[in-house]
Amino acid sequence: MSKMAAIQMASGPNLNANLIEATRLITMAADAGAELVVLPENFAIMGLSEFDKVKIREADGQGAIQDFLNEQAAKHGVWLVGGTIPLAAHDADKVRSACLLIDAQGQRVARYDKIHLFDVALPDTGERYVESETIEEGDQVVVVDTPFGRLGLAICYDLRFPELFRQMAGQGVELIAIPAAFTAITGAAHWEPLVRARAIENLCYVIAAGQGGYHVNGHETYGDSMIVDPWGRVLDRLPSGSGFVLAELDMGNLESTRRNFPVLEHRRMQCAAT
């Protein structure tokens, strides 16, 4: 059986400091036996302004953050889900929030661009988020073959849209990586139910890596990174602070769960394409 890890951080506006912290946590997870490591959303930068990420955006295929991911994966011999990084968009004033999958040789295998953008206001705190001001949405569902099974990629707010994950199920998904940066308010209310629901309804493993803590920009993220099995059981979790969670990926358990409880075969309604 393989081991998978989700890393939790509280990133700030300093790119180099964030990469140093990510290096420390990737090393710890790899030393603990992880073969698949998932970084959180915005691991490389949580700026003072949402426009800070636009300033450090990289061209697809080249740049310091992409080099970092490739080097870390190859150095530790792990498959690395690179949270999200800001890549150039068609709009010169925006980025694509891109999740890159890197193999154990340091080669890119897949790229997923965040589809659902977080444009909301939280009345209890006065916080307002308008990701569409700085992020250009993606439009492709991504599920790829890995040594660990069919892996789907999603990002944070995507978690609230079950039709995305149903499309993944139609493509044979067996485990889903979800880098995230849920707010403290929405995380306390909805994070665990949503993560577990996506695992239960699709009978798959979910590896949810979150930002967790207080950030220099004044925001607080929820954390509670977790790994959930196809029956909805939380195998490991980190409620707060920097660190990682680790669990075994048991494909025999996934196969027996699907065989004995064939809910995916009982579907009668199909989702419209996104």
User: What residues are labeled active site?
Assistant: 41, 114, 156
d(CA 67, CA 177) in angstroms, rounded, equals 21
Total Cβ atoms within 10 A of residue 248 = 15
- Evaluate whether 214 touches 241 at the Cβ level (below 8 Å): no
Q: What is the DSSP letter of 237?
A: E
Q: Of 190, 229, 230, which is closest to residue 210 (Cα–Cα)?
A: 190
d(CA 176, CA 150) in angstroms, rounded, equals 8
Backbone angles phi, psi at 163, to 5 degrees: -65, -30
| H-helix segments, the chain | 15-31, 52-55, 64-76, 162-170, 184-186, 192-202, 251-260
Residues 6 or more apart in contact with residue 258 via CB below 8 angstroms: 203, 230, 264
